A and B are shown apart, each in its own frame.
Chain A
Amino acid sequence: MPQPVQPRSRVRAHAPAAAVSGDRRGEVTGEAAARGFRYTATGIGKAFSGAPVLRDVSLILEPGEIHTLLGENGAGKSTLLKILAGVYQPDSGELVLGDERLPVLTPRTAQQRGIYLVPQEPTLMRHLSVVENLFLGILPRGRLPFSVGWREMRRAAAGYLERVGLNVEAETPAEALSIAQAQLLECARALAHRCDVLFFDEPTSPLTDHEADVLFETIRALREQRYTLAFISHRLDEVLEISDRITVLRDGALVATQERASADRAGMVRAMVGRELAAAQPRPRRMPTGPAVLRVTGLTLEPHFANVDLEVRSGEVVGLAGLVGSGRTEIAEAIFGVRKPTAGRVVLDGKQFDRRSPRACIDAGLVYLSEDRGRHGIFAEVDLARNVTSGILPRLPRRAGLLQIGAEHGLAAEAVRRTNVRAASLASRIKTLSGGNQQRALLARWLLADPKVAILDEPTRGVDIGAKAEIYEIVAGLAAAGLATIVISSEIEELTQLCDRVFVAYEGRIVGRLSGAEITAGRLGSLVVGAEVR
Chain B
Amino acid sequence: MPLVPVTEPRVRLDGAPLRAAPLRRFLLRREILLVLAMVAVALASGLHESAFLTRSNLSFVAADAAATAVLAVGQTIVLLTRGIDLSVAPILGLSAVVVGFLGQNHNLPLGIGVVVSLAVGLGLGVGNGFLIAVTGLPPIISTLGTLSVYGGLQFVVCNAWSPHTVVNIPNSYVNFGNDNAFNGLAWLVVIAAAITAVVAVVLRHTRFGRSLYAIGDDAEAAYRAGIRVRLVLFCAYAACGLLAGFAGLIYLVHTGSADSTTGTDTSVNLISIAAALIGGTTLTGGKGGVVGSALGAVFLSLALTAMVFAGIDPIWEPAGVGALILLAVVSDRRRGGTGSGALTRSAGGAA
Q: Which residues of A contact B (CB under 8 A)?
A: 48-53, 73-74, 76-79, 251, 276-277, 279, 336, 338, 358-359, 361-363, 368, 370, 374-383, 385-386, 390-394, 396, 401-403, 405-407, 409-410, 413-414, 416-417, 421-428, 431-435, 437, 445, 462, 464-466
Shortest A337–chain B CB gap in Å is 10
Q: Is the CB of B221 within 8 A of A378?
A: yes
Q: Is the CB of A393 within 8 A of B20?
A: no
Q: Give the chain B neighbours of A378 by CB distance below 8 A.
A: 218, 221
How many residues in B have their beta carbons less than 8 Å from beta carbons of A? Answer: 53
Q: Is the CB of A50 within 8 A of B23?
A: no
Q: Which 8 pairs show the lowest CB-CB distances between chains A and B?
A: A464-B4, A410-B17, A427-B23, A402-B205, A379-B217, A427-B20, A78-B351, A359-B226
Given the interface pairs A338-B224, A377-B221, A434-B7, the reply to whether A79 lies near B351 with Cβ below 8 Å is yes
B287 on the interface (CB 8 Å rule)?
yes
Residue from A277, A370, A385, A433 in contact with B224 in the complex, judged by beta carbons closer than 8 Å? A370
Between B13, B206, B225, the greatest number of chain A beta carbons within 10 A of the residue's beta carbon is seen for B225
- In Å, the complex CA distance between A117 and B333 comes to 33
Q: Is the CB of B6 within 8 A of A422?
A: yes
Q: Give the chain B neighbours of A427 by CB distance below 8 A.
A: 18, 20-23
Shortest A521–chain B CB gap in Å is 18
B319 on the interface (CB 8 Å rule)?
no
B265 on the interface (CB 8 Å rule)?
no
Residue from A48, A336, A406, A431 in contact with B350 in the complex, judged by beta carbons closer than 8 Å? A48
- In Å, the complex CA distance between A414 and B224 comes to 23
Given the interface pairs A50-B4, A382-B214, A383-B23, the reply to whether A376 lies near B226 with Cβ below 8 Å is no
B311 on the interface (CB 8 Å rule)?
no
Shortest A12–chain B CB gap in Å is 30
Given the interface pairs A401-B206, A413-B15, A413-B17, the reply to whether A362 lies near B226 with Cβ below 8 Å is yes
Shortest A455–chain B CB gap in Å is 12
Q: Give the chain B neighbours of A403 by CB distance below 8 A.
A: 204-207, 210
Can you list 29 contacts pairing A with B, beta carbon distance less than 8 Å?
A50-B4, A51-B4, A74-B350, A76-B351, A279-B1, A338-B224, A363-B226, A376-B221, A377-B221, A379-B286, A380-B345, A381-B286, A381-B287, A382-B214, A383-B23, A385-B18, A391-B225, A393-B207, A402-B201, A416-B13, A417-B14, A421-B13, A424-B9, A425-B20, A426-B13, A427-B20, A432-B8, A434-B348, A465-B1
Shortest B86–chain A CB gap in Å is 24
Interface of A, secondary structure class, is mixed
Given the interface pairs A50-B4, A465-B1, the reply to whether A379 lies near B218 with Cβ below 8 Å is yes
Q: Is the CB of A425 within 8 A of B286?
A: no
Between B5, B13, B14, B15, the greatest number of chain A beta carbons within 10 A of the residue's beta carbon is seen for B13
Residue from A74, A368, A413 in contact with B13 in the complex, judged by beta carbons closer than 8 Å? A413
Q: Give the chain B neighbours of A361 by CB distance below 8 A.
A: 226
Q: Is the CB of A425 within 8 A of B214?
A: no
Q: Is the CB of B224 within 8 A of A376?
A: yes
Q: Is the CB of A379 within 8 A of B223?
A: no
Q: Give the chain A neighbours of B325 by CB distance below 8 A.
A: none
B220 on the interface (CB 8 Å rule)?
yes
Q: Is the CB of A434 within 8 A of B6?
A: yes
Q: A358-B226, A427-B20 are in contact. List 9 more A-B contacts (CB 8 A).
A: A48-B350, A50-B6, A74-B350, A361-B226, A377-B224, A378-B218, A386-B213, A403-B207, A425-B20
- In Å, the complex CA distance between A504 and B227 comes to 32
Q: Is the CB of B3 within 8 A of A466?
A: yes
Q: Give the chain A neighbours of B4 by CB distance below 8 A.
A: 50-52, 464-466
- In Å, the complex CA distance between A363 and B226 comes to 9
Q: Give the chain A neighbours of B349 by CB distance below 8 A.
A: 48, 374, 435, 462
Shortest B11–chain A CB gap in Å is 6
Q: Is the CB of B1 within 8 A of A393?
A: no
Q: Give the chain B neighbours of A413 by CB distance below 8 A.
A: 13, 15-18
Q: Give the chain B neighbours of A49 by CB distance below 8 A.
A: 7, 347-348
